[in-house]
Structure 1
């Protein structure tokens, strides 16, 4: 999934050739394993500390560390590196996400690189789009805070189940099949698959007593794959040879 993300993809596009980009993706993905294990161990230790000290952990798991830091359980000096780390992580993520969104809107949607725009006009458009993206970020954070009743991490994975499912289906379809997609139907397939998953997630507990979790991402991808297959056509041998070359 790293190669499908606009933010992550920009790191791979800086590589000089395909082999270096593939190596970068594999190494970058493998480096997540020890980091994830480290943070998982930290979470286990924090809950063990709460049990040992008789502290009731908050309902939202992502509030555990801030609550312990603000209460001084880990020492009063911990607030300094904690604040620096939170600010650094927030700025790093927000900066790359804003850059990716601004680039997508300006290049793909507004097409500011066309020849009839001067450099000054293109710069003004980029600045305005960037400010609009900042405003959208602030609005999304406020709405997310008002509407969310679970942990932030859980909500992010739920949203990723809907947004990344079509990407996963498209990626798998391009790798494992040689059938040509019908361009007209692709947007509809990618929109209908998450809608169907949302309806299934709503009715499944009421009809069958089953609650979907993160496996909704796999179902979303499979529905997208199936929709692309149904609306596609088989390539001729000449088309396959052209693509291979």
Structure 2
């Protein structure tokens, strides 16, 4: 595929998104539509669209790329099992709470339970966490676009990032969540179709039918799922499953982004149906992505294809294997399918994140949901400026990641999550499970900063301190636990009835 053809295809793709945005936002572009989609979203559209938001370009590229490592292979599926358990817990525990309190921002629960300072702290943690995580996801795909498209036109990396964010801003700033429910459904359709068709195309290139491909993957050196030989290593299955459970509760159940979509359903029953359906599809799609990874390495071995070299670090970069094969070795149609899937996965995640960040800031810090004196037009104009501000902030974070990062992005994202979402886990756990005690609000930010710092020190020296023990995603449990203990230490007895 030539860079010009890729660029033309992306122009058509975004043209379709702009058309959807125009039609949806023409009916209603007020704050109620932006924040809650007027609370009338269809559960099946939300469930399907959440697949694209939850997976992102990281799953599309980085997860298949990591399969080639002997210590990784299908290890990620252990984490996915934990994810599934976490989704079910969210549906049964957190969603009923959010609906009962009729929240626009889920951090409103912390305000009612632990006070204003704890509430602002929780919202700020989300803003930091989601900005960094979403920037890392978008960074991965912009790197691919830069390498295979924009380098050919002499466009610098920073401008590629700016153009990507400008496009996302342009089709989300009016309709917000109301627009995203529709566009994410379309983008997930592209993503799911892409991964299925990619498997078919690679199987044809390897002269396999689907049953033969399944058997070949099963017998390959890439398909080991459960790692239980050494509990000290980071890939040990119990660590991965526990990490998956708690990372999911924190990154989904305590994250305004994905919960905002759930809260746009009319009833709790519909929101739960959405989560159950989403969980089943999520498991299947991740199995497909891992299978794509095994097939890619088998294809690379057969055709003598090496892992591409990172232009910045000069080291092999597994994230680039999938796009390299799709664009340079497969036929035109598979390349187009890959491009559509990658674009859909990435922009479905980033557009949703920017909307959630804007919602959280407007509601949690500007109090727009409680403002009944300022006219709607002024509030909408303020919301637009907030949307622009977060777009520019994400732009700066991507440039920083570009300068300092050399690891696979999937590892970076879950490392970030373990440190930043841990305090949210501690705050909600304390609020839900400790009754009859209130915290001293002024000390809450201290606890929420101290816990990740202690975790960082422990992780850095865990091999020396704990006899070769390596932390993986289960670090978030330690982080949340330290936050919980810190909150208990700064709390006092109260006679109030807690939610």
What's the offset of the Cα at 1:135? 0.8
- Whether the aligned pair in 2 keeps the contact of 1:98 and 1:133 (CA below 8 Å) is yes
The answer for unaligned runs of 5 or more in structure 2 is 1-248, 309-315
Is residue 163 of structure 1 aligned with residue 413 of structure 2? no
The aligned residue for residue 34 of structure 1 is 284
Task: Describe the shift of the 1:223–1:13 C-alpha distance in structure 2 as closer, same or farther (beyond 3 A).
Answer: same
- Whether the aligned pair in 2 keeps the contact of 1:181 and 1:228 (CA below 8 Å) is no
The aligned residue for residue 115 of structure 1 is 372
* Matching residue within 298, 302, 305 for 1:52: 302
TM-score norm. by structure 1 comes to 0.85
The aligned residue for residue 271 of structure 2 is 21
The answer for unaligned runs of 5 or more in structure 1 is none
2-structure distance, mates of 1:203, 1:77: 49
Is residue 221 of structure 1 aligned with residue 480 of structure 2? yes
Task: Describe the shift of the 1:183–1:8 C-alpha distance in structure 2 as closer, same or farther (beyond 3 A).
Answer: farther
The aligned residue for residue 154 of structure 2 is none
- Bigger relative CO (Cα 8 Å, ≥ 6 apart): 2
Task: Describe the shift of the 1:186–1:18 C-alpha distance in structure 2 as closer, same or farther (beyond 3 A).
Answer: farther
What's the offset of the Cα at 1:219? 1.4
What's the offset of the Cα at 1:68? 1.3
Task: Describe the shift of the 1:91–1:159 C-alpha distance in structure 2 as closer, same or farther (beyond 3 A).
Answer: same
Pairing 1:1-245 to 2, within 5 Å after superposition? 1=249, 2-58=252-308, 59-72=316-329, 74-113=330-369, 114-184=371-441, 185-205=443-463, 210-234=469-493, 236=495, 239=496, 242-243=497-498
- After superposition, the CA RMSD in angstroms is 2.4
What's the offset of the Cα at 1:52? 2.7
Task: Describe the shift of the 1:84–1:232 C-alpha distance in structure 2 as closer, same or farther (beyond 3 A).
Answer: same
- Whether the aligned pair in 2 keeps the contact of 1:166 and 1:190 (CA below 8 Å) is yes
What's the offset of the Cα at 1:179? 4.6
What's the offset of the Cα at 1:205? 4.8
Deviates more, 1:128-137 or 1:51-60: 51-60
2-structure distance, mates of 1:31, 1:174: 32
Task: Describe the shift of the 1:102–1:158 C-alpha distance in structure 2 as closer, same or farther (beyond 3 A).
Answer: same
- Whether the aligned pair in 1 keeps the contact of 2:463 and 2:469 (CA below 8 Å) is yes
